[in-house]
Structure 1
Amino acid sequence: MSDGAIDLRAEARAKAYAMPLADINLADTELWRTDTVWPYLERLRKEDPVHLHPAHHHPDGAFWSITKYADIMAVDINHEVFSSEPSITIFDPKEDFTLPMFIAMDPPKHDVQRKTVSPIVSPANLHLMEPLIRSRITKTLDELPIGEPFDWVDRVSIELTTQMLATLFDFPWDERRKLTRWSDIATAGPESGLFLTDDYETERRMELFACVDYFTRLWNERVNAPPKGDLISMLAHGEATRNMDRMEYLGNLLLLIIGGNDTTRNTMTGSILAMNQNPDQLRKLREDPSLIPSMVSETIRWQTPLSNMRRTATRDFELGGKLIRKGDKVLIWYASGNRDEAAIENPEAYIIDRERPRNHLSFGFGIHRCVGNRLAELQLRILWEEILPRFPEIRVLEEPRRVASVLIRGYSSMQVVIPARN
């Protein structure tokens, strides 16, 4: 970590504890882009773990922030009181652009739609996919330049996860970077730098309509062919999904694209950054590569690629001594729960041989627990199984550029160099 980054964090800590509690705003994108949100989360955990943000903190109104591990878990597993409808993000759906998707549904519809696509990440299917994943990872790593700076995010993290996504969808290989673009656009705000005009909402909708038009052509091909094992064919032939309208199809596509790409992509980058910041842990891993699965889980906790999920109260409910009213917006901050001292020992430290490394919130809990969590772990495990024997060092050259997003804890670029062997 550079001296500048340390100064920024020290300044954020002083500011977080000096301001009135009511002024802390976790919906401030800048706190996440600069990676200075941590002392604000810490203070809320200590002083007001069930915290009501006033309406002026966000254009879509007031919201609760739940920051302690146990409270987050209590909300996540109680889908009857804390509903995923109408949205799992802090933003309310626009009346003229609603995107139904099964992660933002309650049972029974959620269950049958999720069941339609879940076979693609079954243990048996993951076992079949492992040789393909490994061959792509080895090819990508073998083509990296030695002794020359390059962007790890673009050359490795985006490339590998987009290849995987193209396989899951059976998407035209040469056009797979469209998936990356749609994933980025779906979660981007006006401050992201991804849009060409000031009317970012219109531009965003146009790109997402282009996405569903492209996938509709694939749907029409698959629905008129025998069922196959890719996601489009599963949706086209599935009892619970074959009659989706255009917007519900788009909603579920975006869920699968983001879930199958963004989270793993950012944890791949985060793993390199974590090892640079914690060289003692890298030494530990090199001395004992059997720690790779444990390291993968610790990285997923440390990174927390989705910082939060939103729920909406279906009735009045008391939590942590506060009365949450029916209709209130509730944000459960996984990023905070994963740093909760009451649940995780020494949570600020990156420790690859923790006693219970999978004891994290990054995949969620309850009915919405990440359907592809084992695939993510598999890709990260194989990546490090192939990195260790190849590269004695992957050196991060400067602070990475982080995504300007309250939802996605990610990286837009990270310059690295692989030093030549002596």
Structure 2
Amino acid sequence: MGIAIKTSGLSSAEAVEEAYSIPLSEIDVAKPELFRTNKMWPYFERLRKEAPVHYCPHNEDAGAYWSVTKYNDIVSVDTNHQVFSSEGGITLRDQDEDFKLPMFIAMDPPKHDDQRKTVSPIVAPANLAKLEGLIRERAGKILDSLPENEPFNWVDRVSIELTTQMLATLFDFPFEERRKLTRWSDVATASTDSGIIESEDQRRAELLECAEYFMGLWNERVNAREPGNDLISMLAHGESTRNMDKMEYLGNLILLIVGGNDTTRNSISGGLYGLNLFPNQYKKLLEQGPGIVPNMVSEIIRWQTPLAYMRRTALQDVELGGQKIRKGDKVAMWYVSGNRDDEVIENPNELVIDRPRARQHISFGFGIHRCVGNRLAEMQLRIIWEEILKRWPNQPIEVLSEPRRVHSSFVKGYEELMVQLPKRA
């Protein structure tokens, strides 16, 4: 039990030497390849020590940008939307002028607040309570359908399947076509050298196909006698969203699809991977049982950090960490680095399932843009682990090899995690 850390970056002497040997001015932590190979850790470690607010003069996709890498600096940027605006977009790469997708996470108040309020009832406590039984039933069916004596890809069979079923329910989307949601989520965030899409033209074509499909659902819901309790109905009937044009509708759909899919699915995969990297923690889980699961879920979300960063744009000249950020500059808040800041979090590189104050992480962001679906994400993770423990209470699910990771510096995720189940209890 426990797999060798081959490419974690934390123990790779080659990655550490590389990160510390190049001039600070040449460090570009937004390169997707660093994340695909999981070699970004020593770069972030160096920036936190030597240049916590760091200027990168050129990135191939994004141009120049600032990196904010320490926990407290990230919180100060994230909670100051008056100076650090979301209007320029949430990724470092600018949207093309002729294909802009407005979405409420990339808006400032008051429009942001109005649109967010429209969809937030779907994750209100009363609605989450109604969803819990459905999620548990589905999680059980997914786990019961897994092959017992052969390796399989946990990402596809469990992580994607559970989150995509949930997303289809939230949208009241045709259930048998739910994997379209997975595809659109991947297309929206993929780079052209990721193997998912080959060109920007392909991305546009597939996202416009998404828009057309959802326009059909919009027209059904807007004409319904009684508004439904799903996200499309909420958008179609909401005062601040019912007059959106097609591109703003598509932008908000992509936000909800990626937010409801990528983040939870990569934490489900990352949790199992992390417990195999730290087998003493899996042993602790089996010994303590389901009571430790809620705390473990928060720790998994911190350790995994499913979205590596969020971008802001400076609305005025401002000083941060002794650096002068100019009006119009791009600023990346590297949540993935802040969650490993040892001045705030003890032994941050380790997964510790009974960590005190485990919810102290910044994976959900802070301030007005804090993840609207964070409680739903936590609930799905809690339920899948409770159901895993019911079926395999004495033996760990074994990860067989290093995962294949997503080629992205924005979505920190997994394409493949090969596992094998223990015998049933």
Q: Secondary structure at the match of 2:419?
A: strand
Q: 1:54·1:62 contact (CA, 8 Å) conserved in 2?
A: yes
- Distance across 1 between alignment mates of 2:196 and 2:67: 28
Aligned position for 1:210? 209
Q: Secondary structure at the match of 1:52?
A: strand
Q: Which runs of 5+ in 2 are unaligned?
A: none
Amino acid at match of 1:109: K
Q: 2:154·2:269 contact (CA, 8 Å) conserved in 1?
A: yes
1:220, distance to aligned residue in structure 2 (A): 0.1
1:281–1:114 CA distance, 2 compared to 1 (3 A): same
Aligned position for 1:182? 184
1:389, distance to aligned residue in structure 2 (A): 2.1
1:60, distance to aligned residue in structure 2 (A): 3.0
Amino acid at match of 1:280: N
- Distance across 2 between alignment mates of 1:212 and 1:59: 25
Amino acid at match of 2:321: G
Partner deviation per Cα, 1:16-39 (whole Å, 9 max, x = no partner): 111111111112111000111000
Q: 1:309·1:331 contact (CA, 8 Å) conserved in 2?
A: yes
Q: 1:27·1:58 contact (CA, 8 Å) conserved in 2?
A: no
Q: 2:308·2:334 contact (CA, 8 Å) conserved in 1?
A: yes
Query: Is 2:71 the counterpart of 1:72?
Result: no
- What does 1:88-237 align with in structure 2 at a 5 Å threshold? 88-195=90-197, 197=198, 200-225=199-224, 226-237=226-237
Q: Secondary structure at the match of 1:5?
A: coil
Query: Is 2:13 the counterpart of 1:14?
Result: no
- Distance across 1 between alignment mates of 2:208 and 2:237: 22
1:6, distance to aligned residue in structure 2 (A): 6.2
Q: Secondary structure at the match of 1:288?
A: helix
Amino acid at match of 1:14: E
Aligned position for 1:388? 389
Amino acid at match of 2:313: T
1:374, distance to aligned residue in structure 2 (A): 0.2
Q: 2:6·2:402 contact (CA, 8 Å) conserved in 1?
A: no
Partner deviation per Cα, 1:252-296 (whole Å, 9 max, x = no partner): 000000000100000000011011111111111112121100000
Q: Secondary structure at the match of 1:398?
A: coil
Q: Secondary structure at the match of 1:190?
A: coil
Q: 2:297·2:381 contact (CA, 8 Å) conserved in 1?
A: yes
Q: 1:406 aligns with which of 382, 389, 409?
A: 409
- Distance across 1 between alignment mates of 2:322 and 2:165: 47
Q: 2:282·2:396 contact (CA, 8 Å) conserved in 1?
A: no
Q: Which runs of 5+ in 1 are unaligned?
A: none
- What does 1:8-47 align with in structure 2 at a 5 Å threshold? 9-47=12-50
Aligned position for 2:258? 258
Aligned position for 1:298? 299
Partner deviation per Cα, 1:130-188 (whole Å, 9 max, x = no partner): 00000000010011111111110000000000000000000001000000000000000
Q: Secondary structure at the match of 1:252?
A: helix
- Distance across 2 between alignment mates of 1:168 and 1:100: 21
> What's the TM-score once normalised by structure 1's chain length?
0.97
1:58, distance to aligned residue in structure 2 (A): 3.1
Aligned position for 1:417? 420
Amino acid at match of 1:250: L
Q: 1:66·1:333 contact (CA, 8 Å) conserved in 2?
A: yes
Identical pairs, percent = 64
Q: Give runs of ≥4 in structure 1 deviating > 6 Å.
A: none
- Distance across 1 between alignment mates of 2:274 and 2:6: 18
Aligned position for 1:359? 360
> What's the TM-score once normalised by structure 2's chain length?
0.97
Q: How many residues align?
A: 418
- Distance across 2 between alignment mates of 1:353 and 1:362: 18
1:220–1:3 CA distance, 2 compared to 1 (3 A): closer
1:349, distance to aligned residue in structure 2 (A): 1.1
- Distance across 2 between alignment mates of 1:304 and 1:60: 22
Q: 2:404·2:414 contact (CA, 8 Å) conserved in 1?
A: yes
- Distance across 1 between alignment mates of 2:97 and 2:336: 30
Mean Cα displacement is larger for which, 18-27 or 225-234?
A: 18-27
